[in-house]
Structure 1
Amino acid sequence: MPLDEPIPAWRADFFAPVASFRDPLFPGLTRGLPVPPPSTVRGMLAAATGQIAETCVLGMAAWSEGGGVDAETYHPIAADGSNPAAAGRVRAVKGGMTIRDRPFLTNIHLTVWVPGPDGERIAQALRRPVWPLRLGRSQDIVHPLGVRRVTLRPAVRATVDHALAPTDGHDAPAASVFRLASSITTDRLHTKWSDYLWCDTPTGEHPVQGAHADQGQAVWLLTA
Structure 2
Amino acid sequence: MEGLTVTLSAPVASFRRPLDINFQRTLLLPPPTTCLGIAGAALGLSENELWQEGGLLSTLKVSVLLEPSPVIGGDPALTRDLWKVLKIKNKKISERSPYFRELLFFPRYTLLFTGGKALLERLAEAFADPAYPISLGREDELASVEAVEKVVFSSGGSVLFGTMVPGDLRELEVKVKLTPGLRIEPPSVEVLPLEFKVVKGVRHPVKRRPFTIIPLGSQLEFPTLKTFSFRGRNFVWLNF
TM-score by length of 1: 0.80
Counterpart Cα distance in 2 of 1:127 and 1:100: 37
> What residue in structure 2 maps to residue 3 of structure 1?
none
Task: Give, in angstroms, the shift of residue 130 of structure 1.
Answer: 0.3
State the aligned residue count.
205
**1:153 shift after superposition:** 1.5
Q: Is 2:62–2:113's contact at 8 Å kept on the other side of the alignment?
A: yes
* Distance change (3 Å), C-alpha of 1:119 and 1:164: farther
CA contact (8 A) 1:158 1:217 kept: no
For the 8 Å contact 1:21–1:36, the answer to whether it is kept is yes
Question: Is structure 2 residue 64 aligned with structure 1 residue 60?
Answer: yes
Alignment correspondent of 2:180: none
Q: 1:178 to 1:217 in 2, by over 3 A?
A: same
Aligned-pair CA distance for 1:206: 3.1
Kindly indicate whether the alpha-carbon contact (under 8 Å) linking 2:28 and 2:213 is maintained by their aligned counterparts in 1: no
- Alignment of 1:212 with 2:228, yes or no, is yes
Superposition map of 1:1-224 within 5 A: 7-52=1-46, 53=50, 54-55=57-58, 56-62=60-66, 64-76=75-87, 83=90, 91-93=92-94, 95=95, 97-116=96-115, 117=117, 118-155=119-156, 157-167=157-167, 171-173=174-176, 174-186=186-198, 187-192=201-206, 193-204=208-219, 206-208=221-223, 209-223=225-239
Residue in 2 aligned with 1:4?
none
For 1:180, what is the secondary structure of its paired residue? strand
Q: Deviations over 1:61-107 (max 9, x none)?
A: 2364211011112244x7xxx75x5xxxxx432x3x43221111111
| Letter paired with 2:188 | S
Amino acid at match of 1:103: E
Cα distance in structure 1, aligned partners of 2:129 and 2:175: 38
Gaps of 5+ in 1: 1-6, 86-90
Deviation digits for residues 28-61 of structure 1, max 9, x if unmatched? 4323322222112211211110112144211212
Alignment RMSD (CA, Å): 2.4
Matched-pair contact (CA < 8 Å) for 1:158–1:216: no
Given that 2:81 and 2:100 are in contact with CA atoms closer than 8 Å, whether structure 1 keeps it comes out as yes
After superposition, give the CA deviation of every residue in 1:172-224 in whole Å (9 maximum; x if it has no partner): 53533222232222434420222112211334573441211123211212227
What are the Cα deviations for residues 87-146 of structure 1, in whole angstroms up to 9, with x where unaligned? xxxx432x3x43221111111111111113232221110000001111111210011111
Distance 1:164 1:32 in 2: 15
Unaligned 5+ runs, structure 2: 51-56, 68-74, 177-185
User: TM (normalized to structure 2)?
Assistant: 0.75
> Does the Cα contact within 8 Å between 1:48 and 1:131 map onto a contact in 2?
yes
